[in-house]
Amino acid sequence: MTYFLSLLADGVLSGAIYGVIALAFVVVYKASRVVNFALGEWAMFGSRLTAAGWHGAGLGLACGLAAAMAGMVALALVFNRLVLARLIGRPLIALVMVTLGLGALMRGLAPVLFAGIPAEIPLPIPVAMLELGVLVVATDKLAAACIAAICIAAVAWFFQASRTGLAMRAIADDAGAAMAAGIDIRRHYGIAWAMAGLLCVIGGTLWTFVTGGGFGVALVGLKVFPIVILGGLANVPGCILSAILIGALEALATGYLDPHLGGGFGGVASYLVLIAVLILRPHGLLGRPAAERV
Q: What percentage of the chain carries pLDDT values higher than 90?
A: 17
Which structural domain, as residue segments, surrounds residue 145? 12-218
The closest of 19, 3, 8, 12 to 252, measured between CA atoms, is: 8
The four Cα atoms 237, 239, 240, 242 give a dihedral, to 10 degrees, of: 120
Is 40:224 a contact under the CB 8 Å cutoff? yes
pLDDT digits (tens, 9 = 90+) for 169-182: 888 777 788 888 88
Q: Please report whether residue 170 resides in a domain.
A: yes
How many structural domains comprise the chain?
Answer: 1
Instruction: Give me the mean pLDDT over the 99-113 stretch.
Output: 89
Q: Please report whether residue 128 resides in a domain.
A: yes
Q: pLDDT at residue 72 above 90?
A: yes
Per-residue model confidence (pLDDT) at position 197: 93
Q: pLDDT at residue 71 above 90?
A: yes
Per-residue model confidence (pLDDT) at position 294: 53
Q: Please report whether residue 224 resides in a domain.
A: no
Q: How many residues in total does the chain contain?
A: 294
The closest of 52, 90, 84 to 68, measured between CA atoms, is: 52
Q: Please report whether residue 139 resides in a domain.
A: yes
Instruction: Give me the mean pLDDT over the 194-213 stretch.
Output: 88
Q: Please report whether residue 291 resides in a domain.
A: no
In this predicted structure, which of 109-118, 171-180, 185-194 has the lowest mean pLDDT? 171-180
pLDDT digits (tens, 9 = 90+) for 3-45: 888 888 888 888 888 999 999 998 988 887 888 888 889 999 9
Q: Please report whether residue 242 resides in a domain.
A: no
Is 245:230 a contact under the CB 8 Å cutoff? yes
- Helix/strand number for the chain, H first, E second: 12, 2
Per-residue model confidence (pLDDT) at position 195: 93
Beta-strand (E) ranges in 127-231?
A: 129-132, 135-138
Q: Please report whether residue 129 resides in a domain.
A: yes
Q: Please report whether residue 33 resides in a domain.
A: yes
What's the mean pLDDT when you consider all of the chain? Answer: 84
pLDDT digits (tens, 9 = 90+) for 271-283: 888 888 888 887 7
Q: pLDDT at residue 292 above 60?
A: no
The closest of 228, 226, 224, 208 to 216, measured between CA atoms, is: 208
Per-residue model confidence (pLDDT) at position 213: 67
More confident residue, 82 or 218: 82
Per-residue model confidence (pLDDT) at position 92: 77
Confidence of residue 256 (pLDDT cuts 50, 70, 90): confident
